[in-house]
Amino acid sequence: MLSIARSRCSSLVSSLEGPPAITFHEFNALDSQLSPQYLGTADLVLSTLVLEHLPLEAFFRAVKSLLKNDGGVVVLTNMHAEMGRKSQAGFVDDETGVKVQGQSYVYEVQEVLEEAQKWGFDIEGDAGERAIAKADLESGVVGKRGEKWVGVKCWFGMVLKLKRQLKA
């Protein structure tokens, strides 16, 4: 996934005048010993469909440790609790053909916001929630497999900003 992101972003960034510095790093959010060279260096953390695989405390501890203390931003998306109560994320292993499902957590939007506040984050704007509509099927935005999700909230997203930390 990181190689795909690098590829897509490099072509986008190369077309900009005065390109921003974008770097990609892989790390284990459950490892309390994050590599020191990354601590406090990020302006932005983009987390898409990760939160459902981690305890809230572990997620926010890792994200906060990566962000600069002067108001870093987290763009977060996740599977909505309505969908999570009906299905669990997984994938089919190409080699074995077996469906693999890891640990999965179901979080309500309010629960995520409350934990974010404990770690010093404020929400920018409102959290967005998205259900699948019949029109999504008709327009092709969602494939035929999405039919069972019509009327179900499947996704939520938000932008969180770390409150500026006053230096002593």
Strands 121-131 and 44-48 come out as unpaired
Domain assignment of residue 14, yes or no: no
129 belongs to a structural domain = yes
**Any idea which of 55-59, 95-99, 164-168 has the lowest mean pLDDT?**
164-168
pTM: 0.81
Q: What average pLDDT does the structure give for the chain?
A: 87
* Domain assignment of residue 96, yes or no: yes
Query: Taking Cα atoms as reference points, which of 118, 128, 113 lies closest to residue 160?
Result: 113
Judge whether 22 lies within some domain. Answer: no
Distances from the Cα of 49 to the Cαs of 10, 15, 27, 76, in angstroms? 22, 28, 16, 8
Predicted pLDDT at 60:
95
**Buried b / exposed e along 87-126 (16+ C-beta atoms within 10 A):** ebeeeeeeeeeeeeeeeebbbebeebbebbeebbbebeee
At residue 38, the pLDDT reads 77
Task: Tell me whether residue 167 is in a domain.
Answer: no
pLDDT tens digits along 130-144: 999 999 999 999 999
- Look up the domain containing 99 and give its range: 38-162
Within-domain flag for 12: no
Identify the residue whose tokens are 């969908």: 83
Q: Report in angstroms the alpha-carbon separations of 63 from 40, 53, 126, 133, 149.
A: 9, 14, 20, 33, 31
Compute CA 73 distance to the chain's CA centroid, rounded to the nearest angstrom: 12
Does a structural domain hold residue 116?
Answer: yes
Give the pLDDT band (50/70/90) at residue 11.
low
Backbone phi and psi for residue 80, each to the nearest 5 degrees, phi listed first: -70, 150
Whether the pLDDT of residue 166 is over 70: the answer is no
Say how many domains are in the chain: 1
Per residue in 85-128, pLDDT (tens digit) is 998 877 888 899 998 888 889 999 999 999 999 999 999 999 99
Say if 48 falls within a structural domain: yes
Residue 74, pLDDT above cutoff 70: yes
Which CATH number belongs to the domain containing residue 55 in this structure? 3.40.50.150
